Amino acid sequence: MSEWNASAERELATPGPLRPRRLRNSAAMRELVAETTVLARQLVMPHFVLPAAKANEPIPSMPGISRTGVDDLLRAVESDHKLGIKSVLLFGTPPAGAKNSTGSSASDREGAVPRAVRALRGAFGGDLVIMTDVCLCAYTDHGHCGVLLDGAVDNDRSLVPLAAMALAHAEAGADLVAPSDMMDGRVGALRSALDADGFTSTGILSYAVKYASAYYGPFRDAADSSPQHGDRRSYQMDSRNSAEAEREVKLDEAEGADMVMVKPALAYLDIIRRVRAVTTLPLAAYNVSGEYSAVKAAAERGWLDEAAIVRENLHAMVRAGADIVITYHARAALAGRWI
């Protein structure tokens, strides 16, 4: 049969009730039925802080992101605040020559992070949520996230300097300390230390589900925090595991975490979904450095449309179940109205 047969087409066509395309007919219709929204209030901008007042060092492997001194940080956070970014996560850098085996400069009250926290708190009061990364790797001379005993990271010994670091951040005025070291029991240890010193209202955002990931590469350049020997596989999670994520979240919740995080995000959307189902705590997804840099590199070459990719990725993390997204794309996404 070569002639077009309109009555046959009518007979073969899907009956009326089974036409999902009706809900995609126009942009207005698609807006009406969209299931996911990413709002500025959900985004957290990470910052790398240098122990200086004035400094601005672009990070080559993370185009658009700099390591800044405290004054430059204040200016960046002020302009981000106008875009709607009301939360920051701070990473510190010790002064030159300060690294040692226990990372003792991590709890220095005059260190980059406590100084930055005081300055931000002074400028913004309660209008900014200040989170601080608590980990030793940028402060130890061996680059591991804890302290070593016979060449291996010793869990319980590491809790002491980690708790001291959290206290220095709490004292400076952090809202949430965010332990990223992946030692067992660190949420409980931080909670006891904070409470014992009267910081009962300082919260803990636990990097509960943090995988040993190659996606942290650019961050380690930025923070100068690469392990000098070995890797982090004896404390960070194995990327093949999923049930283990539930165990980690349940433990951290029992130890007193106020929020939990899954990290990285995009290669772990199934984990975000799984964790979402087992906790009612606020859930953060960390869209890490390598995920950022991969998008930036492809966009620079004209291989990907940065705005469209970032929008799609942000929607994916929230659709999977994240309440909060920590992302280096936050500023550009809001400035460019990508979401």
Task: Give the active site residues.
Answer: 210, 263
- Count CA atoms closer than 13 A to 224's CA, side-chain side: 14
Q: Which helix (H) or strand (E) holds 81?
A: helix 70-83
Using alpha carbons, select from 119, 143, 129, 108 the residue that is nearest to residue 178.
Answer: 129
Comparison of 160 and 307: residue with beta carbon closer to Zn ion: 160
The 197-216 site mask, x for binding ligand PBG (CB under 6 A), equals -------------------x
Based on the shown chain and the rule CB under 5 A, indicate whether residue 177 belongs to the binding site for Zn ion.
no
CB of 339 closer than 8 Å to CB of 311:
yes
Based on the shown chain and the rule CB under 6 A, indicate whether residue 220 belongs to the binding site for ligand PBG.
yes
Using alpha carbons, select from 283, 274, 273 the residue that is nearest to residue 252.
Answer: 283
| Cα angle 331, 324, 35; round to 5 | 95
- Count CA atoms closer than 13 A to 279's CA, side-chain side: 33
Q: What is the Cα gyration radius of the chain?
A: 23
Which residue from 180, 293, 313, 327 is in contact with ligand PBG, where contact means CB under 6 A?
A: 180
Based on the shown chain and the rule CB under 5 A, indicate whether residue 145 belongs to the binding site for Zn ion.
yes
Burial of 32 (0-12, 13-18, 19+ CB in 10 A): exposed
Comparison of 137 and 261: residue with beta carbon closer to Zn ion: 137
Q: Which helix (H) or strand (E) holds 205?
A: strand 203-210
Give the count of residues interacting with ligand PBG (CB under 6 A).
12
Comparison of 135 and 257: residue with beta carbon closer to ligand PBG: 135
The 119-138 site mask, x for binding Zn ion (CB under 5 A), equals ----------------x-x-
Which residue from 43, 65, 137, 316 is in contact with ligand PBG, where contact means CB under 6 A?
A: 137
Within a 10 A sphere around the Cβ of 192, how many other Cβ atoms?
14
Tokens of 243: 């049930």
Residues 39-78 that bind Zn ion (CB under 5 A): none
What minimum distance in Å lies between the beta carbon of 223 and ligand PBG?
A: 7
220 binds, among Zn ion, ligand PBG, none (CB under 5 to 8 A by kind): ligand PBG
Using alpha carbons, select from 261, 312, 307 the residue that is nearest to residue 44.
Answer: 261
The 18-57 site mask, x for binding ligand PBG (CB under 6 A), equals ----------------------------------------
CB of 135 closer than 8 Å to CB of 178:
no
What minimum distance in Å lies between the beta carbon of 220 and ligand PBG?
A: 6
What minimum distance in Å lies between the beta carbon of 193 and ligand PBG?
A: 19
Which residue from 52, 65, 90, 135 is in contact with ligand PBG, where contact means CB under 6 A?
A: 135
Comparison of 106 and 120: residue with beta carbon closer to ligand PBG: 106
Residues 6+ away with beta carbon under 8 Å from 40: 83, 84, 85, 86, 334
Based on the shown chain and the rule CB under 5 A, indicate whether residue 330 belongs to the binding site for Zn ion.
no
Comparison of 46 and 203: residue with beta carbon closer to ligand PBG: 46
Q: Which residues bind Zn ion (CB under 5 A)?
A: 135, 137, 145
Q: Which residues bind ligand PBG (CB under 6 A)?
A: 133, 135, 137, 145, 180, 216, 219-220, 225, 232, 288-289
